Amino acid sequence: MAAKSSLKNFLGDLPFTAEIDWMLRSKNRPRKDHFNLDRLQKSLPAARAVVEPIAKNAKRGKNVLFFATLHYWIEQSAYLGLALAGLGHKVTLLTLPYSEWHKQKDNFTQRQRILHTRDALSTLSPLIEHASMLDLKPASVLPDILLADIKEISLWDVQYTLMREEVDMNDASDRALYDLRIERNTFAAKAALEWMQTKKPDVVLIPNGLILEMGIVFRVARYLNIDAVTYEFNDQREQIWLAQNSSIMKQDTDYFVKARCHLPMTDEMFERVADLENARRGARVWGKSKRLWQYVSSQGAQETRKLLKLDDRPVVMLAANVLGDSLTLGRDIFAASMTEWIMKTVQYFATRTDVQMVIRVHPGEKLVPQAKSMGTVVREALPELPSHIHVIGALDKINTYDLIEIADVGLAYTTTVGLETAMNGRPVISCGETHYRKRGFTLDPNTWDEYYATLEKVLADIPGHQLNEKQTEFAWNYAYRFFFEYPRPFPWRLMNFWNDLEAWPLEKVLSEEGLAQFKDTFDFLVNEPFTWKN
């Protein structure tokens, strides 16, 4: 295998070898490479035919640079780019045809991926201009601020890939992965900087905008003071999360708090939030989602107390996130990492026998078995677990919403369990940079000293720190806005994209019916100001 890779690297360095092989042999063969755009290529001629007459009559819009890497993002971006072109925008789709962000691929294969992507997207012309980042001339130097960004994002890339926060630069495999991410992110930064300085787009559209080259392209745009819009998806079909001039993974909700949270809640709004919460409590899917947030239905507070052998002492619940999730990266405030926060917290509570502690390992760990479990982190901090500290594993048959009901105090990093605990009127200490922090219904320490002082103060008078009616009502108001107004209507999620495309083909999306649902979102994606429909 190593000899084959070396041969392909050698051939990939020779001029025109990949191109000649592509034209004479590989182009018309079924692709065995994981990077495969064949289905996209077959579908695009009909899609372009739908958009062309619409685009001719559209009012001229913005010059949009749309960056996508990894084949599944490229598939979706081709159709989103066509929708934007149909609305009059001049779109350049800049692709980076990688399939493995964590592995070095031989030069021959990588050059053929460029050719495959070029052929697959050629039908987009002239509606959309396509360019491969690997064909661009990179800038010769980078400013110090972007060099610092590259180091930060490359570390997040390693944490995201390995699904753990500890990265040992003395470990050969950790260091090799970090060096690879430095190399790739540096090239992406140089290529994007040169292109944006030359072409000067009005707006840059990027999936995710936090990690990998997607994060670097976002940072370059903001360094040049070019508007950048990032997007991702929640668990619901026909919805999108998007952010303007910030990474969507940071979940900056300040704009909707200012615009929406002062508005009163109606009974119907309360009922809608309650319906969602009851579905999660009952381990049922909700709305247009197939995701289960719990794997066991509620058994009730008293039964859960019996299962955990809890007595009458107050209960503190710590709700953990999944390590390496991009919704946790870069969210540290006073702790160096969520791991450090959990370790020091359980060590603190090991001496507090006047209370009981329940640590809820995120059920999502079931979906990423390669991630380091937070249960393991607890046992590294406390090899002998005291009897008053209980660890609830991801697969344990305990419902988180029963724990919320039992808890007298909540501790959270970025999980929405912190918000839901506050909705229950309980004091919540917010320890990571989460979207609901500093909204008036959490306690928000900024240093370790403040954190320990807050713990002492709350535990000394738990009843006195219960949320009042106004705070609890505002937590429900915020939850409604976050769950039901923060996501915007959108036809095609990344997961199950081709199924969504069958339900919402381009002709339907760009019809009067489709635009009534999605036009505002398409406008927000090119950085038009947010508006709200009451």
pLDDT tens, position by position, 61-96: 999 999 999 999 999 999 999 999 999 999 999 999
Task: Kindly indicate the confidence band of residue 363, based on its pLDDT and cuts at 50, 70 and 90.
Answer: confident
pLDDT score at 176: 96
Task: Kindly indicate the confidence band of residue 29, based on its pLDDT and cuts at 50, 70 and 90.
Answer: confident
Q: Looking at the DSSP assignment, which residues form a beta bridge with residue 93?
A: 66, 130
More reliable by pLDDT, 17 or 266: 266
Q: In degrees rounded to 5, what are phi and psi of residue 139?
A: -65, 155
Contact 204, 67 (CB under 8 A): yes
Q: Are strands 409-412 and 428-430 parallel, antiparallel or unpaired?
A: parallel
Assessment of whether the complete model's pTM goes beyond 0.95:
no
pLDDT in tens, 365-423: 777 777 788 889 999 999 999 999 999 988 889 999 999 999 999 999 999 999 999 99
- Among residues 172, 450, 442, 164, the alpha carbon closest in space to that of 325 is found at 164
pLDDT in tens, 172-211: 999 999 999 999 999 999 999 999 999 999 999 999 999 9
CA angle centred on 383, ends 379 and 388, rounded to 5° = 80
Distance between first and last Cα of the chain: 60
Overall average pLDDT of the 222-232 stretch = 98
Domains of the chain: 2-139+201-253+489-525 (no CATH), 265-485 (3.40.50.2000)
Alpha helices in 89-245 (DSSP H): 107-121, 144-162, 172-199, 212-223
Task: Kindly indicate the confidence band of residue 225, based on its pLDDT and cuts at 50, 70 and 90.
Answer: very high
- How large a percentage of the chain has pLDDT more than 90? 78
Plot region of 101 (φ>0 → left; ψ -120 to 50 → alpha; else → beta):
alpha
User: What DSSP string describes 199-228?
Assistant: H--SEEEEESSSSHHHHHHHHHHHHTT-EE
Q: Which residue has the tokens 């991009």?
A: 326
Q: Is the pLDDT of residue 441 over 90?
A: yes
Q: Share the mean pLDDT of the chain.
A: 92
pLDDT in tens, 116-153: 999 999 999 999 999 999 999 999 999 999 999 999 99
Overall average pLDDT of the 26-33 stretch = 75
CA angle centred on 399, ends 393 and 403, rounded to 5° = 90
Overall average pLDDT of the 515-534 stretch = 93
Distance CA 373, CA 368 (A): 9
Reading the block at residue 147, the tokens are 């060099």
Plot region of 196 (φ>0 → left; ψ -120 to 50 → alpha; else → beta):
alpha
